[in-house]
Amino acid sequence: MGVLRMQQGLAGQGIRPAAMPHTLAEVFPAAPADASATAFMLSRLPKTNAPILWVQDRLSRKEAGYPSLAGIGLQHPIIMVDLSRASDVLWAMEDGLRCRALAAVVGEVWGDPPALDFTATKRLAMRAEAADVSCWLIRRAASPDLSAARDRWRIASLPSATHPHDAQAPGDPRWALDLFRSRRSKPGQWVATYERAADRLHLAAATGDRAVDKGDGAARQRAAG
């Protein structure tokens, strides 16, 4: 797959993603420990069995923990690298992007360290594009300062979709997506639903006020009432 390019579909079909060359994308979770950024990123990885290089700095590991990947059907072997400083994370990511055998390189950096400047992100973007390897940088408790990332997302968890067989059980996960900066796509806001059974991400235009759809949770309320 590659980084998303959002295109307006036919009436009733919502938004359709188109494949783009692999490059650097940044994800800013709405809450530092929110797992939605990780989940969305995983849903966009190439459909191969190639390994993922996953690098965390000390604060990301301490505050958000190791990524919990059990039960999501991920086919990629994970190469976890634990480092202390953001500068070491960036060095490991750049070095990993020299390997074309990887499916993706993922980095988690906490806050706004001086090492994570425009030059550092430019180097990552250029390495990713040269190797055609997907590169994701998860920015927890961070500000969207100047960056060379081709796509920059804000992501937040939403109430899950209604379960098709049990109104009181959680259904497919949903996220609020805000593509607030992109060098190749039109920024916008969407609601994403990940269909587990089909391993497919469905995108729909968000409402103007970004409120949850008025029917969300209605089935659960009827079942409980």
Q: What are phi and psi of 68, to 5 degrees?
A: -90, 110
Cα–Cα dist 79/186, whole Å? 34
Select from 1, 5, 48, 22 the least CA-distant residue to 185.
5
Q: What is the pTM of this model?
A: 0.78
Other beta carbons within 10 angstroms of residue 172's beta carbon come to 19
pLDDT for residue 108: 96
Residue type, 18: A
Which tens digits make up the pLDDT trace of 107-122? 999 999 999 999 999 9
Is the pLDDT higher at 208 or at 23?
A: 23
Q: In terms of pLDDT, which residue wins out, 72 or 24? A: 24
Give tens-digit pLDDT for 37-65: 888 888 888 888 899 999 999 999 998 88
Contact 29, 36 (CB under 8 A): yes
Instruction: Say what the pLDDT of residue 200 is.
Output: 79
Distance CA 20, CA 3 (A): 6
- In the block, residue with structure tokens 């307006």: 8
Q: What percent of the chain has pLDDT over 70?
A: 79
Burial of 63 (0-12, 13-18, 19+ CB in 10 A): middle
pLDDT digits (tens, 9 = 90+) for 121-153: 999 999 999 999 999 999 999 999 999 999 999
Best CATH choice for the domain 5-156 from the list 3.40.50.2300, 3.40.50.740, 3.40.50.300, 3.40.50.620:
3.40.50.300
* Whether the predicted pLDDT of 33 surpasses 90: no
